Amino acid sequence: MKKWVVLTMIVAVMFILTGCGYQEGIRQPDRQSFIWFSGDTTEAVAIIDDNEPFRVVQAYYVDSDTGERVSKNGRTLYQIKPGRHVIIVKKNGEVVVHRDLIIGAGATKEVRVP
């Protein structure tokens, strides 16, 4: 009888020790969202939420046989946090796009440049 009491106490203590301080669940990083620019992005500069401006590029390569630009994956993705953002695109100093964009987690949105 004494052995059962001791064994029960040991098992109870093990349950308590393994349960204390343990974080349940799986931690997942925040899902990032993306934007991509389409249209005539030549000489285009984008500003997102009053951050540093950056030159908009499209992914392409020059075909060695024809010398023409060929789309490579069709787009270049820019990583952005989910939420509300103000997107401004300028060409030659003139604002050509001014959009308020709400983007969900894991989503990809297109910004068309005229």
Q: Please give the share of the chain, as a percent, with pLDDT higher than 90.
A: 28
DSSP track, 37-60: EEE--TTEEEEETT---EE----E
Residue type (1 letter), 103: I
Taking 90 as the threshold, does the pLDDT of residue 2 lie above it?
no
Judged by average pLDDT, the poorest of 1-5, 35-39, 71-75 is 71-75
* Within a domain: 24: no
The C-alpha angle with vertex 33 and arms to 27 and 36, in degrees rounded to 5, equals 160
pLDDT averaged over the chain? Answer: 80
* Within a domain: 49: yes
Judged by average pLDDT, the poorest of 38-47, 69-78, 99-108 is 69-78
CATH code of 69's domain: 2.60.40
Question: Dihedral angle at the C-alpha atoms of 57, 38, 78, 73, nearest 10 degrees?
Answer: -80
* Within a domain: 106: yes
* Within a domain: 13: no
Asked if 37 and 58 count as a contact pair (C-beta separation under 8 A), the reply is yes
| Per-residue pLDDT tens digits for 76-94 | 778 888 999 999 999 999 9
Q: How many C-beta neighbours within 10 Å does residue 28 have?
A: 6
Domains identified in the chain, total number: 1
Domain that holds residue 66: 31-113
Asked if 97 and 87 count as a contact pair (C-beta separation under 8 A), the reply is yes
| Per-residue pLDDT tens digits for 12-47 | 777 776 666 556 666 666 778 888 888 888 899 999
